[in-house]
Structure 1
Amino acid sequence: MSDTGAEIRQRIRGLLVDLSGSERFADGVPDSASLRESGLPSTGLVSLLVAMEDAFGFEWDDDVEPEALRSIDSLARHVLALRN
């Protein structure tokens, strides 16, 4: 059974909580908001991308569009696209 977009977004939020040690950041960022503009440092984004590889069982392509890395929504769409 495959995850829905909502389930994937929730799992990404869980990864953000695991990485930060607090729910405060993950709960305060709207799904469509830029993670960088919301305060996620570049090292945090890299850690999130690595955690997503482990959690969702894929590897990021070197040529992934930067827009795919922008928000929780865009990250979830990317995971869904890989599963289709």
Structure 2
Amino acid sequence: MTRSLAISLAPDIRVNCISPGAVATRWWAGNEERMHGLVGNLPLKRISTPKDIAEAILFQLTQSSITGQVFLIDNGQTL
């Protein structure tokens, strides 16, 4: 969908996607131990924070030559 929209809406609108892995948010409330258990399987040995996701969004917003891309923010989970 990201690529199709990027093609359809170019050149006036750029379309990108942020695809996060585990992010330390209130949705993990009560399951913090499970969340931290994921760390051992991640190459970067950390769980993302909302700030990490926001920084990725800000990055792609400042790059006028990027469109149709999916940004995986998952600490290497999908490697």
Structure 1 length normalisation: TM-score?
0.26
Query: Highest CA radius of gyration, 1 or 2?
Result: 2
Name the structure where strand makes up a greater proportion of residues: 2
Q: Structure with the greater relative contact order (CA < 8 A, sep ≥ 6): 1 or 2? A: 2
Structure with greater helix percent = 1
Name the TM-score, length of structure 2 as normaliser. 0.27
